[in-house]
Structures are given as C-alpha cells and as structure tokens.
Structure 1
C-alpha cells in the first residue's frame, strides 16, 4: 500500500500540471510551500548600488512651497497633476547624470507623443550610455486567438539606433519581462518569484532576436555583465524584504530641493556610480504584482529585487524534476521501512513526525544556507500518506486478526464470551498468571467408548463423534459456558472461569445444570437419528461440581493452555465416573445443591467417600426443572425422608 501511494505521487509529479486537476492543485501547493520558504528565509540588506526614486504622489503641490517652485522649474512642473510634461524627465536625467549615476532607469512607458518630448529625446541622446527606458509586451484579441505585440517608446522620445531592430537598442528594457514572456511562464499561479533577464525567439520578434529586461540593461550599465544570466531560464531569486520594506523610495521632488541635494545627497555624490531607478512608489499606474509574501509588490521594487539578486548572487537553485522523483521515492521508501521495522503504532507515529520535521528542517537549511530550494509538499505527502496507509493497513490486519481470533475462540466459548474477552482483554489477561475463582465445572463422557472403537469403522466413528461434539458444544455455548478441552470422547466445560462473563456463582451453576439437561435431550434425538442410519447409540455420564479453583495458563514452553485445577475440578470428574455406579446420567456435587435448589428439583443419591476427601460427599441428581413447570414426583418426599432416617440409623421408623 505504501508503494502504491508513493507511485501515485511519482505519477502526479511526472505528468504536466495542465494534464490533471489534482496535479495542478499539487503544483499550487508546492508553489505555496516554496513561497513560504522564500518569504521566511534570511533577509538581506538592500544593495547600496541600487537607489529607488519614487513617484509617490500624483502632484506635489501640497509639499512644494510656492517660492521653491518659483525658483526651480522642475519643482514647478511637479506641482501639476500626473502625468507631468516629459521635459520633467529630461530634468531628472540631467540631474542624476550630472551627479554621476551609472544607470538612470525610467520604469515608465512613453508609448505615444506628448508635451516635452523634444527635451526628453535630447536628454536620452546625451546620456545614451547611461539611460534605460521601458517597453512592454501586450496581448490583443484577434480572431480566435491572441496576438503578441511590443510597445516601444514613441519615435518622438527615442531616436532608435536601428529602426529595423528596436529591441536591440541597449536603452530599451522590457518592464513586464518577468511575468509576460513565454519563457517566464514557468509557474501556474502568476506569482512573481522568478526573473528572466534575456530570451531569444519570443513571440512578436523576428526569429533569433534576443531581448533583455529592464534589470539586465541596468546591470550592464555598471559594467558587470558577467552577473547577468546569459540564458533564458527563469531564475528563482531571494527578495530583500516584504513589499515596502526592502528598497525605501526617495520622493522624486526631493532631488530638486537644494537643501536635500546638499544635505541628504551630499551634493549629488550619493548617486554617483549607482543604478537609479525612477518609477511609481504608489499604485498610481496599477503596476503591482503578487509575490511570495502573498502581498502585492510594485513593479519597480520587483525590478530592484531582481537586480539585487543578480548583483549579490542570490539566485536560488531548485531541485530538478529527477531529484523530485528521487525525494518522493526516498521518503515513500522510508515510510515503507518504518512500516516493516517499527511495529508500535505510537512509536511509528513519532518517528514519522520526526522525519517530517527533519525534512522541513533540511528545506529551511537549504534555502537559508545553501541558496537551494527543495520540493516540499509531494515528498511529505508521500511520507505522511504512506504512514497513514501503513496505519490503515495495520488496522485492517488487526481487524482481520481479531476476526480470526474471534472465529477461533468461538470454537471454544460462546459468542458472548468471545465478545467479552475481546472487549475486556485486560481482565482476561490478568487471569492468565493464576487466580482463584469460584467456578462450576462440567465433565461429560461417552460410556463404553473404548469398547465401541474396537472393530468400528474409523470414518463412521469420527463422523458420529463430531456430530455428538457439535451438539454438546453448541449447548455449552448457548448457556454462556466455555469449552475448556476435549479429553478423548470427554468434554470439559466451565462457567465463571472468565470473570467478565460470569453472571454470579448461582447463575453460573444453574446454567451448567440447564446445559446438562439439554445435553440429555439432544443425545436422545441424536440416538434416534443414528439408529435410523444403522449406527450405534451412545450413552453418557455427566458430573457437575462447584468450588474455588485456580485459573491460569498451564503447560510447557512449547505449548500452554488456559485451564483450571483444584479439588472442585477433580470432584466433578469423579462424579462423572460415579454415574456408572449409580446407573444415572447426571450427578451434582454437594456444593451445587444450595446454588440450584429451587430452580431444579434435586434428589439425594448418596454420600460417597471420594479419593482425596476425608469426609463423605453428598451427591445429587436432577429430577425435574421447576422453572419449566415440571412437578415434584409424589414419591420424592417419602424417598428423602426415608433416606434421612437411614442415615440417622432410625431403622424402626
């Protein structure tokens, strides 16, 4: 069963996510676990070479004093409403370029002509080796499908170096590159946890054309091209912090305030040699995206996190598909090993929980110290479900074993007794070491059986005995007794030897006598049947006694039986033997009389000297069942009186 569940997990890992609803849900769970690991991993400080200048308001009229606006044209433009005249961005480029910024990244789209384009175009040409502007992909519904197109900066803003290959202009970076391209469509939940820096052969481009992201273009402005991945494989990366906590934006207007420029930015030297990204610091342009933190993050922040990961080498490795299969198979195999080596369910549960905790610890260690993310959910599903399957399998086996035990016990004791034994095992097991208990013992033996076996047909004799035993044992069980053993053709039955099933000494004794009377009637019916079939008739003798006996497990190391020993048991056996002497089929010991008198009509048979006893024991037989409405025979009173006179030696009476 463990192997089957592990195989199922391997199958779900092997198929494509779109192929099966369950596999999609599994993939989503894996991504959620991956996000949890990434979001909870060790935090990094922002790379000091990255600066975020944020557009946090649609107008700065309420924060820029009129006299400041009058003295500085750029501040005056910021008191207007967004979008501002594009010559403002020319002022921004000029300001940061003169300060020595290595890369000036405008996370903005200039898709159509606008006021101030000439000034912006001039600034982009002047600082062509340091500026990067945004372009993006768009989908358009056309006919039955979608058509991908690329929106470049308008010609009035950017003088393309090669109009036939605008994507090759190193001043253009694709702002939505990490979520939109075919190469980046690696995850099914659209959460941004990976970055693609460049790719070849994207839709909307000529064959072989290579495009680069905003982050890739910006990093190359620093002259560290080697840190930018050269392939188009999506890179899982570690974020600097939660949205709004990683890269704190510098309000755009402050770079034009003389006091800030001097005091906060050291006369502009703060920006020297750095990548300065200008973009929305509030959701003005609806440029926010889901992240591993389950909180949406603004596009500029994501660009900066991707740049930081590349500059610091904080890309996270991921377990390969083959490794995932190995992990699932390994943990599934571990669960199977637990199932066959750790038999205690509680211990196995603790070991399995420890394995789960250990694997989660390995996953955490991998992210925080090895920059490596392991698949988490599917291996744990394999381990936990296989463990549950093992428990289920054990439960089924236990039920089967219990049913097998029940069926075996029902061959020796009644169903009610079996139920009590299985439902109260402690009480039953406590008696195995040896306890004293008041028990009623019944012995029955077929008379003349040894003689009968001489010359008898073996098959016929076995058949006849089995029919006899079936009837006798069924009667014992019907009266809530237990079969102690077969002794050749003899049957030994007990009442009260199992504490949880005892109905009290009086009721136990009465049930034993009821069983004996039922045996008498049953044997009469059997004899009629056997006579009709040409078989020998049988006769038996029954001895019943009550007394304190020792109940326990007796035998050798190789074989033991739960049985009873004591004088009361021996007397019951001897009473059965005496039935031949008194020509009766049922004798009761003296201890039985007070327990059954009133329920049954007893006749005193004799006082006998039994081996092992110093005093004679009075012996009784059953004449009638009072509860069944049978009457006392008229001669009984005179018989008992006469017997009492005889014992008292009142012969004259």
Structure 2
C-alpha cells in the first residue's frame, strides 16, 4: 500500500519512542537550566574570578610583551642606583625637596606638558631637618616652583578607614578651597564609593598647586593591581584620578558622564568597568629614566656642557612625565598583570597611556557572558545527544574550548575582554552532567571499554574491538599473547632538552608524536604509551591478527618516511630537525589492563617487551634507523629482504640474538627491489665470512654495503682481529655491556 508507515503513530513502539524522546528532552532541558544557573551563581559569588584573572594575566602578558609606553608619556624613577649615586651629594633619602623643585625647572625648560609626582608630600620637611615651626627653605622652594609651574600635579589620597578609639577625624570636610579648586564640577555618575578620610599635600603646597590627582589603587582579591578608579567621590564632589589629571591641564572644565562600562570625558570615550574603574592595558616596556640621569643632564646644562648630555631635554617636549619610585625601600612596588614587582607609578602611566591612545580594555557587558554561557551549554547538549560517534563527540567538545580560547584571544588583541572561564565551565558542567546521565542509561560497560581503547587504537580498529569488548574486559586478569612490539625514540634528545626552551621542547615532541601516532594507527597498531621522547606500540591486540610482525615492520618503515614530513613541520616552527631510532621484537607477552583502581593502562609486559626496547637502543651502534630481532624476521609472512647486522647479547640476556635491518619489499619499492635483495644477500655472505674468520672475503663484501657506519664498524673489527688474536671462546657474537 503506497505511503504506508512502517510504524503507526498509535502503535506501542511509536508511543514508547515518543515517550523516551520526551523524557530525554526534559532531561536535556533540566541539565541546561541547572548548568546555566550553577555557572551564574558561581560568577556572582566570584568563585571563578581567580582563575579568570590568572588567565587574563597570562594572555595580556603574551599579547602586550612587545608594546611600549606611548612616546608622549614618560616615567622617571627614583631607583636603587639613583639613590646610591645621589646620596653622595644629598645624603640619605628622603632628599631635600629642592630636588623636586629643580625637576620642575628641568621639565619646564624641556617643554614638558605636565609633571606628576607620585609622591605624597604630606608632612613638612622640618620633621626631618629640625627646622623651626616655619616652612623650611626646601619646602618653600618646592611650593614656589609648584606655583611657578602650573603644569605640575601633586598626589593626594581618599580612603575608607574603619572607626576605632584612636581615630576620631573621619568624614571631615575637606579644607577650604580644595573642592572649589580641584573638584570636577560637571559630573554625572552613579558611583557608590563611600570614602571617609583624606590625605592632602601640606597646606602651603596644596594652596600653590594648580592640580591634584588621586593616587589610590585597590588590588583584586589575589593581590594583583589590574584596575584604577578614574573618579574619586568625596562628600558629593568628584575629583580626578592621577591618570586623569593631565587631561584637565588642557581641558580644565570637562563634562564627564559616567555609566557602567564607559566614561565620557567631553568627546573622549574611556572604557571602564561597572564601578568607574579602568582595566589597565599594561605595556611590555615603560622605558623609565633614572632620576640620577635627569639631574646629571641638568647639571651639565647649568655648566654649559652641552656636547654629550646624559639625556636630551627635548625627549620630554610636550610629554606628560610621571615621577615615582622603584627602590624597594620606598615601598611602592606593586604586582601588575604582567609584572609582579613593578613600580606603582607604572599603573598611572599605563592608565594615562591607555586613555590618550584610546588603548583601554573594553569589558564585555554581562549579557555577552551570559549568552556565551547559554550557547556553550546548548552546544554541549547538541554534540553529546545528537552526534552518534563517541570519538567525534569528544573531538568536537575538545575543539570548543580551543575555539573559544581563539575567539577571546582575538578579542583581547582588539582590546576586548570576554570571559573565557564561565562558558568553558558551562561546557564542562553540561558535558559532565550529560555523560553521567548517559552512563546510567546506555551500557556503562561498553562505554568503559570504548573509552579505554580510544586512546590506544584508531577509530576503525576501535569499532572492531568493541565487538570483542567482553574479551577485552577479561584481559584485566592478564592473558598471554604473541605480539610484535615497537619502541622508538629521538636521537640526541637530551641535547634538545638542555638547549631548547621548555615550550619548544613540548612543541617538538607534540609535532613528532602527532605524526608518528597517525602512522601507527594507519598500520592498525595499538599506541601503548609515550615515555619521555620515546613511544611504544604493539600489534596483535586488541584485534588478533596473524601478520602482526608485517604490520609492525611496515609501520616502522613508514615512520622513517614520515620523519621527513616531521622535520619539514619542525622547520616551519623554527625548530631543529630530529632523527629517530626504532626497534621491533616479536614474542610472548602478558597483555592486560594494568594499574590501580584509579588508573588502568591497556598495556603489555614481559621479556619480549624489554628486548624490543634493547633493539631500539642499539640502532645507533650500527648506524641504522631500524633494528628487528630474529623472531620478528621469522614471523614475517610476506617476502621482505632483511640485512643481517650482527649476532648480539644484549644487557641482561645470555642467549645471543640475530638482529636485522628490514628493507622495502617489492610492493613498496618495485624499482629498487632487486637492489635491496642484493644488499641483503651481500650482507649475509659478508657476515658468514666474518663469523668464519675469512677476513679478506668479509672485507671485500662489507665494502660493497651502502651503509657507511655498518661497513666501517666491521672493517674496524676485522683490522683489530688481524692485529690481535681472537679470544679463545669467540663465537662471532658481540656483547653489549650497557642498555
């Protein structure tokens, strides 16, 4: 009957399917809601803030490592070397305040736009120099210079102090004239900061100043300074931060409109967080000037020695100069996002540089983060419940954080800050909840086997192995099998690890292992493990095959071909080329899920495994990249020429083992096959002559071999035997005393 449905909508089967689908949809919706709510609660409680901050610090350090403070901003530091040098003429710090008056004179001569002192001159100098109650000459000179040079900005602080028995001056009004002179009159802000105390320069200096800037800064909960408040409220009035004060020199009566995530200063838009704070886009290089060099240049100018000035004053022309301290004893060292021991003045200089260059970081508003959280959870649900292949699910789920890392990284390069952790956390929670649900509903046993084997075999082999999952589970008790085992490692890796940076060593290994793993999988191998720079694989399990020796040797030859590709990839990454050695042995081993209750490895153990490792270790002695044992050669089911290398006793073994170099067969290299047969034949004849003590014949035959180190090895042995008589018990076997 045309159009007849195989399953009626009213049939019990259809009802069961519909009911199961509805249950699954409800579970998915529940997972989505619970996950999103859990992430938003964690966000509101700040539980992932430390992680997000740490990731931000890492990325901003990488992104901004090559950036330089804008040329219009200069930093002058009272550093350790300057203190040592200037103490010879000025005595111990603190110096007489005429020093700072002379700084103003120098920068006025240089044509600086503004000079900002990140130094609190709150107490009169007489406490240090024992003057009378009147203002000291040094203080008076600084006051005079400040009044004379209106481009100077002095530091002040507003604080939120706690009330105790010794503190009774909280919430005091600012001194007369301070609000009228230094506050910003036209401000629209919803700022909620409640500050109740203040620290101003000494009264005479405050009166002489044209500008004050607030230098306070609060670290994040991890102690890192990442943000600066741009507006400081006090009793209903607003005052400029240190980094905002220079703008008021040219724009003395700005209109400031502050709203969450941005502040408008006249026509200038400054990105902020929701609390009027600028997230600092740090610089990699602040190019600070030691204060001692400034005074050296100033003295040279006063003396008329203009030929070789320590600093050209015109470097400061039209610049905004921030003066601060980096000497440890002055206690102004702060932890910044990219520098855990930075002078505090860097904070203010960076903030001002961000403002004038429109280089501030724009923080994504909450709806962006929430949308990303919901999208991540939905994507995880779609992948887990809709993609049939488990390996593809994992690949796509793993790709999502990588893609999000790339997206947020690109945003940061454009000065956009988007939370990375919260969407990834939503993805992880959704994935965890979904797989937990599936583990209770869809064959936990098979999933465990599949998960275990997926890291060892290719996708094609995994599908075959799953048909034998019960047998594989029983392997937990240990079974004896005949397998072919391959070991490979990088020649001279110790040198790489000692000379290359750690990150380049990891990049090199990942590139090598990625390519070689594919070769193992393409030849139906089981990738057992990575051991430092070495890798181990075997053939014959979990899928039992009779030609495991052929597959192992074919994989080894393919690896030697693929190493050319690896070296090209390494060259593209500006990493050195590598060489590898490969050893293969075939024998009886113990196969099983070996480990503890917490971690199991599907692996092999036994003497045959150890011998495979020894085969790899002796490749360099014969100058060949690949060595197989006699048992592997005898297990080959296809015709393959093999060049005999030697009979050896490896470390820990008494029984000699013939070892060979397998050569490409007719199918692999039809044009060179006859040549490979001739090499194997000549090698066999040469070795037979060598064992028989026919030195002349052995010399002539080994001279025909195309392997230089192998040829030279035997020619050297023969020359030695001609000079020195053979040992009494010589049996033609070479004994290795080391691994």
Deviation at 1:372, TM superposition (A): 0.7
- Residues 60 and 286 of structure 1: is their aligned pair in 2 closer, same or farther, counting only changes over 3 Å? closer
Aligned equivalent of 1:364: 409
Q: Aligned partners of 1:326, 1:144: CA distance in 2, in Å?
A: 50
Deviation at 1:32, TM superposition (A): 2.1
Aligned equivalent of 1:236: 279
- The reply to whether residue 93 of structure 1 matches residue 104 of structure 2 is yes
Match of 1:378 among 406, 418, 422: 422
Match of 1:46 among 69, 75, 89: 69
Deviation at 1:214, TM superposition (A): 1.0
CA contact (8 A) 1:360 1:376 kept: yes
Aligned equivalent of 1:256: 298
Aligned equivalent of 1:10: 36
Match of 2:348 among 303, 307, 311: 303
Match of 1:214 among 242, 245, 249: 242
- Residues 250 and 220 of structure 1: is their aligned pair in 2 closer, same or farther, counting only changes over 3 Å? farther
- Residues 62 and 289 of structure 1: is their aligned pair in 2 closer, same or farther, counting only changes over 3 Å? closer
CA contact (8 A) 1:107 1:133 kept: yes
Structure 2 segments unaligned to the other structure (5+ residues)? 1-26, 126-135, 171-195, 252-264, 448-466, 475-739
- Residues 197 and 45 of structure 1: is their aligned pair in 2 closer, same or farther, counting only changes over 3 Å? same
Q: Aligned partners of 1:258, 1:393: CA distance in 2, in Å?
A: 79
Aligned equivalent of 1:268: 313
Q: What is the DSSP-based 3-state SS (H/G/I as helix, E as strand, rest coil) of the residue aligned with 1:295?
A: strand
Q: What is the DSSP-based 3-state SS (H/G/I as helix, E as strand, rest coil) of the residue aligned with 2:153?
A: strand
Deviation track 1:367-408 (CA, whole Å, cap 9, x = no partner) reads 11x2211111110011123223333332222237989xxxxx
Deviation at 1:225, TM superposition (A): 6.8
Deviation at 1:104, TM superposition (A): 1.0
Q: Aligned partners of 2:280, 2:309: CA distance in 1, in Å?
A: 31
Aligned equivalent of 2:198: 150
Q: What is the DSSP-based 3-state SS (H/G/I as helix, E as strand, rest coil) of the residue aligned with 2:379?
A: helix
Match of 2:332 among 287, 311, 316: 287
Structure 1 segments unaligned to the other structure (5+ residues)? 67-75, 161-168, 181-186, 404-419, 428-653
Aligned equivalent of 1:330: 375
> Taking structure 2 as the reference length, what is the TM-score of the superposition?
0.46
Q: Aligned partners of 2:42, 2:395: CA distance in 1, in Å?
A: 35
Q: What is the DSSP-based 3-state SS (H/G/I as helix, E as strand, rest coil) of the residue aligned with 1:134?
A: strand
Q: Aligned partners of 1:357, 1:144: CA distance in 2, in Å?
A: 56
- Residues 255 and 278 of structure 1: is their aligned pair in 2 closer, same or farther, counting only changes over 3 Å? farther
- Residues 118 and 12 of structure 1: is their aligned pair in 2 closer, same or farther, counting only changes over 3 Å? farther
Supply the RMSD in Å over aligned alpha carbons: 3.5
Match of 1:134 among 155, 173, 176: 155
Deviation track 1:610-643 (CA, whole Å, cap 9, x = no partner) reads xxxxxxxxxxxxxxxxxxxxxxxxxxxxxxxxxx
Rg larger in structure: 1
Superposition pairs for residues 525-604 of structure 1, below 5 Å? none
Deviation at 1:421, TM superposition (A): 8.7
Aligned equivalent of 1:407: none
Deviation track 1:146-167 (CA, whole Å, cap 9, x = no partner) reads 953110001133326xxxxxxx
CA contact (8 A) 2:36 2:377 kept: no
Deviation at 1:238, TM superposition (A): 1.4
Q: What is the DSSP-based 3-state SS (H/G/I as helix, E as strand, rest coil) of the residue aligned with 1:297?
A: strand
- Residues 263 and 217 of structure 1: is their aligned pair in 2 closer, same or farther, counting only changes over 3 Å? farther
Deviation track 1:529-582 (CA, whole Å, cap 9, x = no partner) reads xxxxxxxxxxxxxxxxxxxxxxxxxxxxxxxxxxxxxxxxxxxxxxxxxxxxxx
Q: Aligned partners of 1:266, 1:155: CA distance in 2, in Å?
A: 34
Q: Number of matched residues?
A: 371
Deviation track 1:305-333 (CA, whole Å, cap 9, x = no partner) reads 11111111111112211111111000100
Match of 2:94 among 64, 83, 93: 83
> Taking structure 1 as the reference length, what is the TM-score of the superposition?
0.51
Q: Aligned partners of 2:79, 2:250: CA distance in 1, in Å?
A: 27
Q: Aligned partners of 2:312, 2:469: CA distance in 1, in Å?
A: 89
Q: Aligned partners of 1:400, 1:88: CA distance in 2, in Å?
A: 77
Aligned equivalent of 2:231: 198
Q: What is the DSSP-based 3-state SS (H/G/I as helix, E as strand, rest coil) of the residue aligned with 2:329?
A: coil
Q: Aligned partners of 1:318, 1:141: CA distance in 2, in Å?
A: 32
- Residues 392 and 46 of structure 1: is their aligned pair in 2 closer, same or farther, counting only changes over 3 Å? same
CA contact (8 A) 1:197 1:228 kept: no
